[in-house]
Structure 1
Amino acid sequence: MTSLNATSDIVTSIEADALILGVDAEGTILAHPQLPTEAVAPLQAAAELLDVKGACCSTTVLPGSGTSARRVVLVGVGDGSARSLREAAGTAARCCGTDPDTVVVAIPAADDDGYAAIAEGAVLGAYTFRDYKTDAEPAEGEEPWAGTDWLVAGASDAAIDRASILVAAIAGVRDLVNTPPRDMYPGAVAAIAQELGSKVGVDVQVWEPEQLAKEGFGGILGVGMGSSRLPRLVRVEWKPADSKGHVALVGKGITFDTGGISLKPPKGMETMKSDMSGSAVVLHATLAAARAQLPVTVTAWLCLAENMPSGTAQRPSDVIKIYGGRTVEVMNTDAEGRLVMADGLAKAIEEKPDMVLDVATLTGAQGVALGSRTSGVMGDEAIRTAVVEAAERAGEDFWPMPLPGHLRKALDSQVADLKNIGDPMGGMLSAGLFLKEFVGDTPWAHLDIARPAFNEDAPWGWTTKGATGHSVRTLLELFTAHAQA
């Protein structure tokens, strides 16, 4: 099992598969209290022969001569900010060989924030999902691969503890989302939430299909009725005795999205196991709040369904009744996320939280507008601003987006209270306007993480290919700020 620890040893004396060192923009190896000066000279000479320059996240691998490591990885640390250090460590971690047993990271940082960022970046940058790889299974008589022991030189116990909580949360999101949809369906997610919740002392409640029908959760039921694997609603709550506020989270949990009767083209389905990212994020953010013992109540609502085409699937022009009684004409069954989220939002605000945030891979329009690394955030100005500021501190990218009033009229239906799609121009914004209809007077923000939640391109920084865990860091930063406020 992968482990993360601090070390106070001289780093060149530790037997390791790799030793990671930082370099500045000129390619000069950065001094570290645990890195002997005499060991630097031959490494620096080799770096100069190779004309190493230290652009942020550029890497060079050298033999570990003069150290007890098999190799030395030099990485540019950019401006030395926590964000740059996190990305540099993540990039360097992928240069440490296949299945390393021990890696030592000796990049200097100014404070605990920097060392925590280095630790997070290293472990998350090396993350791999291998549950379905036959070559990852040990042969008879062989020991299974046990993971890497990551040793961060100079880090305090507090920095390691903080990093460990974030790593567990983000890796947990990645594991859930990367799991094939055959094995990750609404009932499976609910069972996992119950298992994980019992380990960290959070309360977990599950609404089975019969209870969803009895209580009128028409959005979740409507989306999930085409699948043989029926939907669930899950409530996860961390409520400490010293709570200083209450944040509600609602996560989109479409465990696979075919588009339903409004079927997606085949290429569009290839990454649709990622459509449950919002629910994975709010689950693990809540578990992380519990592990960190944050003095704020966090209630997460996981809106879980599998959107499939079948003889029982909802049809375009069907009218469904959302929890609380409002009716929606379903014009496109591939605009399903907002339907399950409407149920979750309407239920979440009954508990009168200080704010409600919904997290969803909601629209393709998000990626068109903001690209694959920046999420959109809409909603009440104060909450929207708080999310953007938390994201900046956390080292994630969110951009504030408007909710123009003139787009609202296109959501009017002739036969119901609302339609589930509006003007195709500004699709991210009209989806936000739809969700706004279900939050009442509760301060609210909508986080559309459609493209940043799943990286289809090459790894970069601490972000690997596949599920990313994007927005977990921002939510934890927001919880902390809310408790302090």
Structure 2
Amino acid sequence: MKIIQDTTNPLKKQTSVLCAYVTEKTNQVFGLEGINPKIKNAITESLKEIEGKLGKISIINTYDLIPAKRILLVGIGTKEKISNDTFRFASGKIAQKIKDMKVKDFAIIVPQKTQLKQTSIISQIIEGVRLSLFSFDKYKKEKINFSANLAIIAPNSKDITKVIKRAQIISDGVIFTKEIANLPPNECTPITLANFAKDLANKNKMKCRIFDKSQLKRGGFGGITAVGQGSKNEPRLIILEHNKGGNKKPIVIVGKAVTFDTGGISLKPGEKMDEMKFDKCGGCTVLGIMKAVSELQLPINVVGIVPSVENMPSGESYRPGDIIKLYSGKTAEILNTDAEGRLILADALSYGEKIYKPKTIIDFATLTGACIVALGTNVAGMVSNNENLVKEMTLASNETYEEVWHLPLNEDYMSMIKSDVADMKNVGIGRAAGTITAAAFLQNAVEKTPWVHFDIAGVAWTQTGTKEKPYNPKGATGFGVRLILEYLRKNTQ
């Protein structure tokens, strides 16, 4: 899709479909002031149907009275309730309608004089359009080959060209994350993910290092080695480095990538086990972030670390009752082999802190079903050892509308994972505070660095209860890519 800025007067723009936003109650149509009376009457009648409600669409024929062939009106709700997601949502609805209409070009008028900055609206428009047109049809015989050029109609400004480019790169990062996260387990093993990382490094001039099974064992990565030993698909530790920040301390981003999780010896129920292909979403998010960071050429140092395994039951699998030694040197008693994500993350977190001595550590993981019980399927759990980091992430979340909720982590929770026979155990006490006790295990892997953990079990893919959003079609959502890129953007200002 080619996206350009266009400063043409909307009423003089030649396009197949001219798209304008309209508010609820006030029926304000942005950008079509002074339009031909005949078309204005048609708009008035059309507004009676959609009433400006968020995402509602109406199409009007212009009868060649203006250069645009048709006008598309889309509701954005009441003006006072316009949020940082309104135009992303509404623009996604536009994109879906344009796709149904099978036109090859369309134009969207950027509203002026709203409570949002013009640059924010443009970013939302592009993300909404691009992400709503994504379709995972890799394994379908009939492909959906749709493409249309988009003109963003807005006043002339140097910033707009930069915003358009940035929004496209961010959207590409999310789409890349979705593409690999949606891959089935027979097509995506730890080695496959490692190859994706190598390709990213080659294309975007990043440094890449891959630890194989023997290197992991020799290096003392006891968590990754133990979880991965039950599968013929060997584990990998993937490391990508974007070094554009000189001597500044890097930001380390870690992502859990269990390419398929049966639960191991503590076998999961068969129902919905197919969804465990999404247990790699944290790692896929990290790869998507690194892709965008490198293409944006951010003037910072960022390290992406992805521990990747397949958790399978076999004669080689680790067992309940085992005691393993993690990269940190601490020991963990295994009480449930389905609590595997924290083991591989602990190794990666400790390695990232020791080797890179980072400014900040961030991790993403589809870690606990308990997070879905606590927060549902639209909000990610956030646990941290640093209040300032929590505030920064909350601000970034408010901008990208990827919702997070801060959960506590104190000594009471830390004590819940103490073991009688090892330094800690890999599950807490019964079902109580499952999301927090999992985070407590990770906290043991981080010594002093400001750290934030996102449990994305409920938001990494669309599930029962997931809000309908046109830019999140069924499957992986790419949650976290936009969030962290917004955080990084603010860190480069």
TM-score using structure 2 length: 0.90
Contact in 2 for aligned 1:30/1:107 (Cα 8 Å): no
Instruction: Supply the distance in 2 between the matched residues of 1:42 and 1:312 (Cα, whole angstroms).
Output: 74
Identify the residue that residue 424 of structure 2 maps to in structure 1. 418
Contact in 1 for aligned 2:211/2:236 (Cα 8 Å): yes
Query: Residues 319 and 63 (structure 1 numbering): CA distance in 2 closer, same or farther, change over 3 Å?
Result: farther
Q: Which amino acid aligns with 1:272?
A: M
CA deviation profile, 1:75-122 (whole Å, cap 9, x unmatched)? 222344442111211233222234653333224255222112111111
**Which region of structure 1 is more displaced relative to structure 2, 290-299 or 68-77?**
68-77
Contact in 2 for aligned 1:323/1:346 (Cα 8 Å): yes
Select 1:387's aligned residue among 390, 393, 415: 393
Equivalences for residues 46-57 of structure 1 within 5 A:
46-48=45-47, 50-57=48-55
Identify the residue that residue 492 of structure 2 maps to in structure 1. 483
Identify the residue that residue 469 of structure 1 maps to in structure 2. 478
CA deviation profile, 1:105-149 (whole Å, cap 9, x unmatched)? 224255222112111111112221111110118xxxxxxx36332
Select 2:325's aligned residue among 321, 335, 339: 321
Q: Which amino acid aligns with 1:96?
A: I
Identify the residue that residue 106 of structure 1 maps to in structure 2. 109
Structure 1: state its 5+ residue gaps.
138-144
SS at match of 2:378: coil
Query: Residues 132 and 42 (structure 1 numbering): CA distance in 2 closer, same or farther, change over 3 Å?
Result: farther
1:201 maps onto 2:202 in alignment: no
Instruction: Supply the distance in 1 between the matched residues of 2:91 and 2:316 (Cα, whole angstroms).
Output: 49
Give 1:74 shift: 2.2
Identify the residue that residue 93 of structure 2 maps to in structure 1. 91
Identify the residue that residue 447 of structure 2 maps to in structure 1. 440
Query: Residues 434 and 415 (structure 1 numbering): CA distance in 2 closer, same or farther, change over 3 Å?
Result: same
Identify the residue that residue 222 of structure 1 maps to in structure 2. 226
Equivalences for residues 178-197 of structure 1 within 5 A:
178-197=182-201
1:234 maps onto 2:241 in alignment: no
Instruction: Supply the distance in 1 between the matched residues of 2:91 and 2:247 (Cα, whole angstroms).
Output: 35
Instruction: Supply the distance in 2 between the matched residues of 1:462 and 1:146 (Cα, whole angstroms).
Output: 16
Give 1:483 shift: 3.1
Give 1:27 shift: 6.8
SS at match of 2:268: coil
Query: Residues 24 and 9 (structure 1 numbering): CA distance in 2 closer, same or farther, change over 3 Å?
Result: same
Contact in 2 for aligned 1:10/1:35 (Cα 8 Å): no
Contact in 2 for aligned 1:29/1:44 (Cα 8 Å): no
1:361 maps onto 2:366 in alignment: yes
Equivalences for residues 136-285 of structure 1 within 5 A:
136=143, 145=145, 147-154=147-154, 156-242=160-246, 244-285=248-289
Give 1:437 shift: 0.2
Instruction: Supply the distance in 2 between the matched residues of 1:347 and 1:288 (Cα, whole angstroms).
Output: 24
Contact in 1 for aligned 2:259/2:277 (Cα 8 Å): yes
How many equivalent residue pairs?
474
Structure 2: state its 5+ residue gaps.
none
**Which region of structure 1 is more displaced relative to structure 2, 446-455 or 52-61?**
52-61
Instruction: Indicate the RMSD between aligned Cα atoms, in angstroms.
Output: 2.3
Give 1:284 shift: 1.6
Task: Give aligned-pair identity as a percent.
Answer: 32
Contact in 1 for aligned 2:76/2:86 (Cα 8 Å): yes
Identify the residue that residue 140 of structure 1 maps to in structure 2. none
Query: Residues 346 and 212 (structure 1 numbering): CA distance in 2 closer, same or farther, change over 3 Å?
Result: same
Contact in 2 for aligned 1:8/1:34 (Cα 8 Å): no
Identify the residue that residue 351 of structure 2 maps to in structure 1. 347
Give 1:63 shift: 5.0
**Which region of structure 1 is more displaced relative to structure 2, 163-172 or 312-321?**
312-321
SS at match of 1:233: strand
